[in-house]
Amino acid sequence: MKIKLNPKDHGFLMIKVKKRKILLLPGDGIGPEVIAEVRKIIDWLNKNRSLDFEIDEDLVGGAAYDKHGTPITDEVFYKALESQAVVLGAVGGPKWDNLEFSKKPERALLKLRKELKLFANLRPAICFKQLVDASSLKPEIVSGLDIMIVRELTGGIYFGEPRGIKPINNGERKGINTHTYTSKEIERVGRVAFDLAKKRDNKVTSCEKSNVMEAGQLWKEEIQTLHDKDFKDVQLEHMLADNCAMQLLRNPKQFDVIVTDNLFGDILSDEAAMLTGSLGLLPSASLGAKDKNGNMRSMYEPVHGSAPDIAGKGLANPIATILSFAMALKYSLNMDNEAKELENAVQKVLNDGLRTKDILSMGNKEVSTKVMGDAVIAYLQK
Ligand code: NAD
């Protein structure tokens, strides 16, 4: 299939999402190894639950550059547009570090997030009780932790204009970035956070710097207005982002859903993630707006990168990617029960003491990527 798409022409967003179509993009490094385990789970669901997922798989990142000279081809981008969920492994690695900016593997991710208009990034931080020792905080502070950070992903200071570095007087230079948000951008991500809270513990903490930034003041006002209009039944608190960073270390269990902008979300979600111990366990979802039929574009990926240091050795922990697929079942494919089953299967495998090397501790059994995936399927089977 040869398709020419003009990324500037947002008419391509008229391309219809195909129900139940899942696009797997393994990418680079350990990406193919962890995506292979998700593929096994989808095949198992298709066979044993008589489901009709249509799976496609293609190249992205460095692997796509090596074959096609670009980190994502128009064909693959088109497939992403018509898929109900994209599940991505990871991209990048030293082999492609010196490519020019527009050819770098990471450009594929940015293009997918931007052009699919994935404005809400969901990052759960869950501390499995079996792995409480992997956290650098005291067990009583993190045990049972279950919070969700909703980060605005397509606006704010990473995209605002003007931007750049320009010469000023006396041979000095000035770096400029612009932090900007519209009411609509704040409202749509706020709505995602309130909707999520209703399915959880019914509390949203909105974080900004309204004490020193006008965009933060607007953020606070718009979130409050949305709450008062449509979500009065959800508890809302406003918190300055610097205080939130401290509270995450002092008493993280006070939070349920945290909603914040692109910059603060970048930092706070990494901080929250680290409360839980290992990178190999952390899933994420990036969601777009729902159309009138309730369909939306979405991408699911582990938080970790391509881990070139362990690629090809069977050492990668597939749990972050498996849990990312569980999020796809929940948020894109309307299969809450299967999502729960998959999450429970992961818990049981951890209860059995099976561990990939990154989360290995005394008294547990080291297993490979593949054995971990097989063990999850064995519990789905039971
Ligand atoms: P990384 O997340 O790839 O690895 C950091 C450390 O964690 C490494 O020691 C690695 O072995 C370990 N690790 C990561 N995931 C693991 C897993 N599933 N199981 C076991 N151990 C795991 O971060 P990095 O080393 O900074 O980056 C490597 C490459 O990945 C770079 O090219 C970077 O640009 C890219 N990257 C891609 C993404 C993405 O695709 N979303 C995100 C971050 C980094």
| Residue 158 annotated among the catalytic residues of the structure | yes
pTM listed for this prediction: 0.90
Strand boundaries in the chain, DSSP class E: 18-27, 54-57, 83-90, 120-126, 146-152, 164-167, 173-176, 203-208, 235-240, 257-260, 283-290, 296-302, 354-355, 365-366
Query: Is CATH 3.40.718.10 correct for 16-119+288-382?
Result: yes
Which of 56, 270, 352, 374 is flagged as catalytic?
270
Nearest to 347 by CA among 312, 327, 375: 375
Query: Residues of 151-185 as b/e, b for ≥16 C-beta within 10 angstroms?
Result: bbbbbbbbebeeeeeeeeeeeeeeeeeebebeeeb
The CA-atom distances, in angstroms, between 196 and each of 192, 241, 267, 295 are 6, 20, 21, 17
Query: Is the separation of the CB atoms in 267 and 151 below 8 Å?
Result: no
User: Nearest to residue 119, comparing CAs of 93, 153, 145?
Assistant: 153
Residue 374 annotated to the active site: no
Q: How far is the CA of 304 from the centre of ligand 1 (A)?
A: 5
Distance 368 CA to ligand 1 centre (A): 17
Measured from the Cα of 357, ligand 1's closest atom is: 20
pLDDT for position 289: 86
Tokens read off for 284? 């994420």
Quote the pLDDT of residue 18: 67
pLDDT of residue 341: 95
Q: Tokens standing for 285?
A: 């979802």
Task: List, chain by chain if needed, residues with CB within 6 Å of any ligand 1 atom.
Answer: 30, 90-93, 106, 109, 279-280, 301, 304-310, 316-317, 320, 356, 358
Atom of ligand 1 nearest to the CA of 90: 40
Domain with CATH 3.40.718.10 in the chain: 16-119+288-382, 122-278
Per residue of the chain (382 residues), what is the pLDDT tens digit?
Answer: 445 555 554 455 566 666 689 999 999 999 999 999 999 999 999 999 878 899 999 999 999 999 999 999 999 999 999 999 999 999 999 999 999 988 999 999 989 988 899 999 999 998 888 888 778 889 899 988 999 999 999 999 988 999 999 999 989 999 999 999 999 999 999 999 999 999 899 999 999 999 999 999 999 999 999 999 999 999 999 999 999 999 999 999 999 999 999 999 999 998 988 888 778 889 999 999 888 777 889 999 999 999 999 999 999 999 999 999 999 999 999 899 999 999 999 999 999 999 999 888 888 899 999 999 999 999 999 8
Given this model, what pLDDT does residue 20 score? 85
Q: Are the C-beta atoms of residues 125 and 145 closer than 8 Å to each other? A: yes
Query: Are 72 and 60 a contacting pair, CB within 8 Å?
Result: yes
User: CATH for 122-278?
Assistant: 3.40.718.10
Catalytic annotation on 56? no
**Which ligand 1 atom is the nearest neighbour of the CA of 316?**
19
Residues in contact with 182: Cβ distance below 8 Å, sequence separation at least 6, in sequence order: 155
Q: Which two tokens stand for residue 372?
A: 């971990």
